[in-house]
Amino acid sequence: MTKPRVLITGGAGFLGSHLCERFLADGYEVICMDNLVTGALRNVEHLFADADFHFAHQDVTEFIHVPGRLDVVMHFASPASPIDYLELPIQTLKVGSLGTHKALGLAHAKGARFLLASTSECYGDPLVHPQREDYWGNVNPVGPRGVYDEAKRFAEAMTMAYHRYHGVDTRIVRIFNTYGPRMRLNDGRALPAFMSQALRGEDLTVFGDGSQTRSFCFVDDLVDGIWRLLHSDEVMPTNIGNPSEMTILQFAAKVLELTGSRSRIDFRPLPQDDPKVRQPDISKARRLLGWEPKVTLDDGLRRTFEYFRERMGVVAVAR
Ligand code: UDP
């Protein structure tokens, strides 16, 4: 019997690598495509021994050729942290626009189902709280985050156009803050920053007064939600995230407690356009997919901490 085949763009990234594992476990042949700008072979090295895993070192903004059949295209390639957008603004815009176009064109040519990794950043600095899928957002197109937000909004529009005009079978997931093993230690996002600072005995850099909120979802829960969305009939964007909201200061305190670190808080300026609040309304995912997150913050942080400790080669936490 021939196995179903999936292409995962950004497959060597944080989320992409977890998806590669999920598809392999489900009996798929997996083509992992990545230009390794923010992804890393280390994330998928353990999969190379599997005959059903293939790696293509390619930039998805260029013409993509994948020989043979494809049943699913998962478009996850993109820089995904605010400091990456600052360093790679044009690549971020290109992968969201040209890259999405190429990936959709491929899905169309192969008759494959297409799933776009979109984002809560589509809601910008939201004026509606919590965020439901029918909220159109409050995005500054010309600010430093605009390169990501607008690229993903364009990607959603392009996905819907391919669905409506070409009849491509599409799905759109709006991903809220997610954490877990294989985040880059230096990607600048709150969790990797706080954990590596705590492990090094450095003070935790909280931006602004730390009163801005986020809602953090463990990667296994996210992958389960994406999996269910892919296998559902829902074409319109669907939020997947953990609705348990907290301030960034509370989050920093949680990391200090978990790591047993004696580091303090070092307040730094708030980056431009940093959303003041963020919390997914997941009623739609609950209703249509029967999905909700299961991993508690304590469990998720503990599992992530193990990964960071191992990567940093830290034997004892600085107390
Ligand atoms: N943040 C922080 N210190 C850091 C990194 C991030 O206080 O070292 C804040 C950031 O300003 C934002 C929140 O933590 O309010 C989440 O930031 P992250 O970059 O993880 O993701 P975002 O939700 O902003 O995309």
Mutation test residue for ligand 1: of 216, 274, 279, the one with most atoms within 8 Å of CB: 274
Distance from the CA of 48 to the center of ligand 1, in angstroms? 33
Whether residue 148 lies in the annotated active site: yes
Residue nearest to atom 18 of ligand 1 (CA): 189
Check which CATH number belongs to the domain holding 229 and give it. Answer: 3.40.50.720
Contact 158, 101 (CB under 8 A): yes
Q: CA geometry: angle at 255 spanning 253 and 259, to 5°?
A: 120
Domain span holding position 235: 5-178+219-240
Q: Where are the beta strands (DSSP E) in the chain?
A: 5-9, 29-34, 53-57, 72-75, 113-119, 170-175, 178-179, 204-207, 213-215, 217-218, 238-240, 245-247, 265-268
C-alpha span between 98 and 291 (Å, rounded): 32
C-alpha span between 34 and 80 (Å, rounded): 14
Find out whether the beta carbon of 230 lies less than 6 Å from any atom of ligand 1.
no
| pLDDT for the residue numbered 142 | 97
The identity of residue 76, as a single letter, is F
Find out whether the beta carbon of 248 lies less than 6 Å from any atom of ligand 1.
yes
Find out whether the beta carbon of 177 lies less than 6 Å from any atom of ligand 1.
yes
| pLDDT for the residue numbered 313 | 86
Does 30 share its domain with 114?
Answer: yes
C-alpha span between 212 and 278 (Å, rounded): 8
Residues paired with residue 7 on neighbouring β-strands, in sequence order: 31, 73
Of 126, 39, 112, nearest in space to 80 by CA: 39
Does 138 share its domain with 230?
Answer: yes
Does 117 share its domain with 169?
Answer: yes
| Tally of domains in the chain | 2
Q: For residue 49, give every residue at least 6 positions away whose Cβ sits within 8 Å of its Cβ, in sequence order, or none.
A: none
Find out whether the beta carbon of 274 lies less than 6 Å from any atom of ligand 1.
yes
Residue 284, in any domain of the structure: no
The single residue listed with the structure tokens 């390169």 is 147
Contact 259, 199 (CB under 8 A): yes
C-alpha span between 148 and 122 (Å, rounded): 9
Which atom of ligand 1 is nearest to 270's Cα? 11
Does 147 share its domain with 26?
Answer: yes
pLDDT tens for the chain, residues 1 to 319: 799 999 999 999 999 999 999 999 999 999 999 999 999 999 999 999 999 999 999 999 999 999 999 999 999 999 999 999 989 999 999 999 999 999 999 999 999 999 999 999 999 999 999 999 999 999 999 999 999 999 999 999 999 999 999 999 999 999 999 999 999 999 999 999 999 999 999 999 999 999 999 999 999 999 999 999 999 999 999 999 999 999 999 999 999 999 999 999 999 999 999 999 999 999 999 999 999 999 999 999 999 999 999 998 864 444 3
| pLDDT for the residue numbered 316 | 47
Residue 169, in any domain of the structure: yes
| pLDDT for the residue numbered 205 | 98
C-alpha span between 280 and 247 (Å, rounded): 15
Catalytic pick from 28, 85, 123, 148?
Answer: 148
Find out whether the beta carbon of 214 lies less than 6 Å from any atom of ligand 1.
yes
